[in-house]
Structure 1
Amino acid sequence: MRVDRRSRRRKSQTKGYLLSAAALLLLVGVFAAGALSFAGKAGQKGEESLRRAVTRASVQCYAIEGRYPPSVEYLEENYGVRIDRDRYNVFYNGFASNVMPEIVINPIEEEEARR
């Protein structure tokens, strides 16, 4: 009878180990999903923050100089706008010096940045 009890104990220990391993894998998966979600949201906020900075600097330039800036480079040189060119492409289309320019921010995909 002792042999049966030991056998049952080993089986229950094995089940416990398997349940613990499964719970650990589940926790790691949930953590990884959360981290990826956070990274995605941070990227979106960075894009929106850059769009607001370029827009704000354009309006400030118009208020000070009486015209919208001719380019994004002008904003970088004269109004302190900083653009991470490794992460974002900025398209700035000014129709006329007295019309608010169209500002488009496109994030660069990681694969494109490596090329």
Structure 2
Amino acid sequence: MARFQYQKKQNTYRKFLLSVCAFLLIIVLFCQGIESLSSSSIRRQKESLENALNRNITYCYAVEGAYPESLDYLKEHYGLTYDEDRFFVDYKVIGSNILPDVTIIEKGD
């Protein structure tokens, strides 16, 4: 009779261990999914910022006949907004009639 009780305890322990392993696996997969979505979102934000900058620079040139002299000019007169804590925008003016060199760098955490 004691033999059956020992086997029952062992089966209960195995089920518990299997449940814990399954739970940990689900948690790991969930965290990986969240990380993947986060990096995808940041990439889309960067693409959106690139498009907005190019659109604003081109529009400014079409309206005023010269490219904007600074990034602040685009912010003030054309409503450019972006997350300055997440992205660094290097804006180099070469001349009033030459397209500025724009580089967008993602800041680390």
- Please report the TM-score for the alignment, with normalisation by the length of structure 2: 0.94
- Aligned-partner residue type, residue 102 of structure 1: D
Q: Tell me, what secondary structure is at the counterpart of 1:92?
A: strand
Identity of aligned residues (%): 33
Could you give the per-residue CA deviations for residues 53-110 of structure 1, whole angstroms, max 9, x where no partner exists? 1111000101111111111100000001003221111111121111111110111111
Equivalent in the alignment of 2:102 = 103
Equivalent in the alignment of 1:83 = 82
C-alpha distance in structure 1 between counterparts of 2:20 and 2:84, whole Å: 44
Shift of 1:6: 1.2
Q: Which runs of 5+ in 1 are unaligned?
A: 111-115
Aligned length: 109
- Please report the TM-score for the alignment, with normalisation by the length of structure 1: 0.90
C-alpha distance in structure 1 between counterparts of 2:36 and 2:99, whole Å: 34
Q: Segments of 4+ in structure 1 off by > 6 A?
A: none
- Aligned-partner residue type, residue 22 of structure 1: C
Equivalent in the alignment of 1:113 = none
